[in-house]
Amino acid sequence: MAIRIIREEGDEILRKKSKEVDEVNDKIREILDDMVETMHHYNGVGLSAPQIGLLKRLVVIDLYDDKGPIKLVNPKILKQEGEQEVEEGCLSFPNEFAKIIRPAKVTIEALDENGKKIKIKADKLLAQAIAHEVDHLDGILFVDKIIPGTLQYIEPEENS
């Protein structure tokens, strides 16, 4: 496994639409593992493949609960319900946070890391994270959805 470089604001790959994965194989599993390691290294809740420079429909999410990381291949949102106003940030926009409107609930279909079709019904933080990461796969960024006047920049702490 390896920690990958995260593409940041201004990198044109973040605005491109990702391609579907044809086959879930060892190379895809290795990318997913690298994505989990990278996400954990940067204390993220989610990470999409475009954020590490790959235009593939791959997403990892970890709510740091007893379920562990979720690895999704070709996720599709089938249904969205309600709205929630959430505070959101993004590993590609370090130290920037804003309020966003996200669906309160989502139902998705995807393949897991073994190529098996799965369906997930999610609410609250998991619904937010899924919506955020699936947006990345379509070149949509959280800054496109900011509630006006809510963007904040938090100064990084100095490492001492």
One digit per residue, pLDDT tens: the chain, 160 residues?
799 999 999 999 999 999 999 999 999 999 999 999 999 999 999 999 999 999 999 999 999 999 999 999 999 999 999 999 999 999 999 999 999 999 999 999 999 999 999 999 999 999 999 999 999 999 999 999 999 999 999 887 765 4
CA–CA distance, 152 with 139 (Å, rounded to integer): 22
CA–CA distance, 135 with 81 (Å, rounded to integer): 16
- Architecture of domain 12-153 in this structure: Alpha-Beta Complex (3.90)
pLDDT at site 156: 78
Residue identified by tokens 């998705």 is 108
| Catalytic residue annotation | 133
The DSSP-derived string for 88-114 is EEETTEEEEEEEEEE-SEEEEEEE-TT
